[in-house]
Structure 1
Amino acid sequence: MKKRIDTLLYDTDTAKKIASYEAPYPRSDIQYYEEELYKKRTGEYFLYGSGNARSPYAEQVYGETSAWEDGEKIVPLSYEEAQKWFEKANNENDELATDEVYEKEFGTIKSDTSKKEQQIFRLSKTAIQKVERMAQKQGKTKSEIVENLIMSE
């Protein structure tokens, strides 16, 4: 599947498939769906999902208000969202989302004993995009990027 979202092209044929997930239903079940995590050559992550008529990927039948059919969708993900998705998929089935691939893609899980506190800051859209790019490029969370910038002063 190929789709352009916010001027960026996402293509399952040219991106690298990282992992996959299958819902815990038989394929014939109306709720069945599957998801695949991809990484573009430029480093962006995205999720390709497809499913039956009562899945998260169902699409409304054209002209009908209460009829749904099988569907598919591409969803861009941030580094942190891709990491969280992978962790969920790995916990469900570590054969489709292996520990080895997780460590290669996201690094080993760090155990940080220092207490973290949540604080909300308002940033410009440009600053947020720059932090997201830095996080993807460096393989870190956005929180780690911001903390490193502050602590380097």
Structure 2
Amino acid sequence: MDIYSFIKELVEDEFNRGNVPANGYASDGVFSIIDDHFYDTDTAKKLATVQAPELNGDDFHYYREELYRTEGGAFFLVGRGHGCTPWTYGGYPGHMVVPMTDASVRRWLQGRNLNYLYLNLFGIPPEAGRKEPFSVLLPEDLTEEVFQRASAMNIPVQTWIEIFLRNALERESDQGDTLP
């Protein structure tokens, strides 16, 4: 999902919850009460601003998004935009305050290519494809059977063990079984 679709989905989710874009293009000093929580740009720390260059006053694609964090650690996004953005109100410029989970903040930061802020807020994510080393001492007969089964499937032993463990864990969670 691209960043535009992600933002549109965020706004639609808020709209479905009753939080609708406010009419008019808001300047600084936006606040909102959502689900009995107060979000205020005057008391929260602004972490990032992303905006499309405004070509002229009638540019329907202009938007500005600002990520904030409250003193209590909650994230929220203030989006402002013209007619062809998700931040619109009936085709007119609008703005909205959107509470953000850690996962949605990560997604927004990645979509807006704010990697430095991602690292600052959440640290270095795991390397793609990284696997943790794991050692198990097995009886010789069991080791031989694992090697034979992997060989019969023409796959590496590590891959066979990974598939076997994933299947076993999935069956266990489906059946509610627990090992002694």
Under TM normalisation by the shorter chain, which class is it?
0.5 to 0.7
- Does 2:64 correspond to 1:34? yes
Q: In the alignment, is the contact (CA less than 8 A) between 1:32 and 1:52 conserved in 2? A: yes
In structure 2, the residue matched to 1:102 is 118
Q: Which runs of 5+ in 1 are unaligned?
A: 61-67, 91-96, 122-153
**TM-score between the two structures when normalised by the length of structure 2:** 0.52
In structure 1, the residue matched to 2:86 is 56
Q: How many residues align?
A: 104
- Does 2:48 correspond to 1:19? yes
Amino acid at match of 1:30: F
CA distance in 2, matches of 1:17, 1:45: 10
In structure 2, the residue matched to 1:125 is none
CA distance in 2, matches of 1:30, 1:104: 33
Q: Which runs of 5+ in 2 are unaligned?
A: 1-29, 132-161, 174-180
CA distance in 1, matches of 2:107, 2:60: 26
Q: Deviations over 1:62-99 (max 9, x none)?
A: xxxxxx21100001110011011011112xxxxxx461
Alignment of 1:3-152 (within 5 A): 3-23=32-52, 26=55, 28=57, 29-60=59-90, 68-90=91-113, 97=114, 99=116, 101-111=117-127, 113-114=130-131
Structure 1 segments of 4+ aligned residues over 2 angstroms from their partners: 23-28
CA distance in 1, matches of 2:56, 2:105: 25
Q: By percentage of residues, which structure has more strand?
A: 1
**TM-score between the two structures when normalised by the length of structure 1:** 0.60
CA distance in 1, matches of 2:84, 2:118: 30
**Residue aligned with 1:26, SS:** coil
RMSD: 2.4
